[in-house]
Amino acid sequence: MLEIIAIIVIVLAIAVAIVLVLAATKPGSFSVQRSISVKAGPEKIFPWISDFHQWKSWSPYENKDPAMKRSYSGAASGKGAVYGWEGNKNVGSGRMEILDASMPSKIVIKLDFFTPFEGHNTAEFTMLPQGDATGVATNVTWLMHGPASFMSKVMQVFMSLDHMIGKDFEAGLVNLKNLAEK
């Protein structure tokens, strides 16, 4: 019986070592980006993003916890606007602050996660007008980037951050498109 336990412990130690070695090979930063074409000018899209009060209408994260507590401070919208949240395990807690709001083309947000995992990232939204035969269109890009902590690297051994976060970005961009094209 002791031999079986020793074999199990050795196998588990090897498995943990393999995961740690694989995690150590992951990049020190990450980036997730998605884009969508919206049949509206950037000036119509910009207010939906630069005002955190409007995020309830389109952000995919707003529906993950109906009882989520929200707080708003700083500017009403644009540079200096602050949004904090506390929610269940699906949304955790964190804070966003708009660092730059260059009407109508770019918004840069400092994004801090406190729970369930601490993370300090940057989110950027860019709105680039595109001319086409059907009229005004805007290419909207949602980008998040930041350092990858060792815990994040361990998680990346088992799951793709690009896939996990990217599907939420895609859903949010579709919601934003639907609102702006009304």
Question: H helices within the chain, ranges in order?
Answer: 2-24, 42-50, 150-158, 161-180
pLDDT tens string 70-128: 999 999 999 999 999 999 988 999 999 999 999 999 999 999 999 988 889 999 999 99
Q: What is the dotted CATH code of the domain comprising 29-180?
A: 3.30.530.20
Mean pLDDT for the stretch of residues 141-161 = 88
- Give residue 150's pLDDT: 82
- The model's pTM is 0.84
Domains of the chain: which residue ranges?
29-180
Placement of tokens 């989520």 in the chain: 68
**Contacting residues for 77 by C-beta, under 8 A, at least 6 apart:** 47, 50, 51, 52, 53, 98, 101
pLDDT surpasses 90 at 14: yes
